[in-house]
Amino acid sequence: MIKFIVRFILVGLCVLPIHAQSSLKLSPIFGSGMVLQQNDSVSIWGMASPFTKVEIYSSWNPVPLKGITDEKGHWEIQVKTPSASYTSHTLLVYSQNDSIRLTDILIGDVWFVGGQSNMQMNFRGNPDQPVQDAQKILLRCRHKGIRLFRVENGYSIEESDTITINGKWTSATPDNVKEFSVVGYIFGEKLHEMLDIPIGLVQSAHGGSVAEAWLDCKTLEMFGEFDLDLKNKEIDPIWYAFEPTVLYNKMLAPMLPLSVKGVIWYQGESNVERPEQYRRLFPELVHAWRKYFRKKDLPFYYVQIAPYNHLNVNSARFREVQLQLMDSIPNVGMAVTLDVGEPDVIHPARKEVVGERLAYWALNKVYGYTAFGCRGPEFHSMEIKNGHAFLKFDFAPNGLSFMEEKATGFEIAGEDRVFYPAEVRITPAFWGNEGLEIWSEKVKNPVAVRYGYTNYVKGTLYNTEGLPASSFRTDDW
């Protein structure tokens, strides 16, 4: 061990900064100040001259790790990492003539932050679309154990080289956090505060992007339904995020196979007019991403799109699909935002609560903090008695609440399938298994109930953990 330490120090002193003529290169996803995934076999990769030996020394492992480049100069070496700690580590990579030294490396949990504009939205907000409490949140951004990597926007019609990515690791100072995803940062902040371990957040999100933009060509070829002949298509230089594969090629593939703990995802507004296709596409995305990151059970937590007055479509149908997918895809969870939306702004100001609700999923399901509820009330059954509908719910172990607000968004219909605004009250029960009683004087014999089944609604139904219910319907009309 002493010999290794001496050698490590000598090697480190001899390392020269990499320069333009050097053939040894690392993917930019690896840099000083990064967080590496704890207790994992982490892939580290880059390029050098073809058929060149490459070695990696780490300050936590006395054994040098060796690899060799292929005919194109690519190399990849697996590095086992220890448990999380705030110890500052060093990593040395060298070939016959070149070397790279990375410092201030922390070992912790790395989460991938993906999606479209509501995930990309930083603390600056948009014109006339501020982020609520942005300044207050920035006041507390002095977490030395949180590190950020933000991928710059761009697209490619072919897969980019595996060491070409525009981004760098930074600390979580107010200046750096201000440019980062609000939802992503809040998620990481809550994990860091609760777990007291380093947290790395890798953001790759693009405004306006469709889900298929984040998938590889082979996956979409097997899926069908998309025009993948991009070479013969004129790509809009501004609205390119509507094209399939182009963001996977530029903003995801170059970082693979990055070792991460899990994924958080906020996307869907650009697919809102195609809910049935999304029902099939989103499971393929989750499955593909688990292959990309080489973890078949990778936790994947996503956000249900918020209420908003979309044109030419009832987005409640899309929200319904997102809700149903939670039960058909293993190891996923969904943060409901029915109380967050704004009627005429597609980027809601309340971003902090969205990040918190995603964090509840991770804390409960990944880290075992079951005190945190993570799932709001979900419709279970309906019974009709004396012209009133009585509804029961799952995931409300201590009952329901309107949080001292007037209940809104409930509708009831008879056999004529005409829905009318409904009265509603919480029906008490001795053992906490409360439900709802719903009725309308205009519907004598009800057969169906809907809640929030419109584009925009102000959600008012919660469980006593403060988690909102999704919009739902008891019919399938």
CATH of the domain at 131: 3.40.50.1110
Query: Is there a contact between 160 and 254 (Cβ–Cβ < 8 Å)?
Result: yes
Q: Is residue 372 part of a domain?
A: no
For residues 288 and 173, state if they share a domain. yes
Q: Nearest-CA neighbor of 354 among 418, 297, 303?
A: 303
Q: Is residue 329 part of a domain?
A: yes
For residues 438 and 403, state if they share a domain. yes
CA–CA gap between residue 402 and residue 415 (Å, rounded)? 29
User: Please, what's the b/e burial string for 420-435 (b: 16 or more CB within 10 A of its CB; e: otherwise)?
Assistant: eebebeebeeeeeebb
Average pLDDT along the chain: 93
For residues 81 and 190, state if they share a domain. no
Residue 411's beta-bridge partner residues? 421, 450
Token pair of 365, please? Answer: 């399901």
CA–CA gap between residue 323 and residue 377 (Å, rounded)? 11
How does strand 169-172 pair with strand 74-80? Answer: unpaired
Q: Nearest-CA neighbor of 201 among 33, 388, 419?
A: 33
For residues 117 and 164, state if they share a domain. yes
Query: Can you give the CATH number for the domain in which 24 is found?
Result: 2.60.40.10
Query: How many domains, the chain?
Result: 3
CA–CA gap between residue 378 and residue 384 (Å, rounded)? 18
- What pLDDT score was predicted for residue 468? 98
- What pLDDT score was predicted for residue 13? 41
Q: Is residue 87 part of a domain?
A: yes
For residues 224 and 240, state if they share a domain. yes
For residues 58 and 158, state if they share a domain. no
Q: Which of 57, 85, 106 is the last residue of a domain?
A: 106
Q: Is residue 371 part of a domain?
A: no
Query: Is there a contact between 262 and 210 (Cβ–Cβ < 8 Å)?
Result: no
| SS3 at position 311 | coil
Q: Nearest-CA neighbor of 160 among 216, 93, 208?
A: 216
Q: ∠ at Cα 413 (409, 419), nearest 5°?
A: 55
Q: Is residue 419 part of a domain?
A: yes
- List, for the chain, all residue ranges whose pLDDT scores fall below the cut of 50: 1-21
Query: Is there a contact between 152 and 167 (Cβ–Cβ < 8 Å)?
Result: yes
Phi and psi dihedrals of 56, rounded to 5? -125, 130
Q: How many CB atoms lie within 10 A of CB 281?
A: 21
Residue 303's beta-bridge partner residues? 335
For residues 243 and 341, state if they share a domain. yes
Q: Which of 106, 140, 161 is the last residue of a domain?
A: 106
For residues 461 and 415, state if they share a domain. yes
For residues 171 and 289, state if they share a domain. yes
Q: Which of 333, 366, 399 is the last residue of a domain?
A: 366
- Write down the H helix ranges in 141-181: 174-177
Q: Is residue 373 part of a domain?
A: no
Q: Is residue 219 part of a domain?
A: yes
For residues 140 and 11, state if they share a domain. no
Q: Is residue 154 part of a domain?
A: yes
- Surface-to-core class of residue 13, CB atoms within 10 Å of its CB (0-12 exposed, 13-18 middle, 19+ buried): exposed
Q: Which domain holds residue 224?
A: 108-366
The Cα-based distances of 380 to 306, 383, 394 in angstroms read 22, 11, 6
Q: Nearest-CA neighbor of 305 among 269, 270, 339, 333?
A: 269
387 conformational bin, left if phi > 0, alpha if psi -120 to 50, beta if neither: left
What secondary structure does DSSP assign to 231-284, as a single string? Answer: GGS---SSSGGGSSSHHIIIIIGGGTT---SEEEEE--GGGTT-HHHHHHHHHH
For residues 240 and 333, state if they share a domain. yes
For residues 116 and 63, state if they share a domain. no
Token pair of 396, please? Answer: 């409300």
- Tell me the pLDDT tens digit for each residue of 112-155: 999 999 999 999 999 999 999 999 999 999 899 999 999 999 99
Token pair of 294, please? Answer: 């080489």
Q: What's the Rg (C-alpha) of the chain?
A: 25
- What pLDDT score was predicted for residue 76? 96
Phi and psi dihedrals of 354, rounded to 5? -70, -45
Catalogue the long-range contacts made by 24-27 (C-beta closer than 8 Å, 24 or more residues apart): 24/48, 24/54, 24/93, 24/94, 24/95, 24/97, 24/98, 24/99, 24/100, 25/163, 26/93, 26/100, 26/102, 26/163, 27/162, 27/163, 27/165, 27/254, 27/255
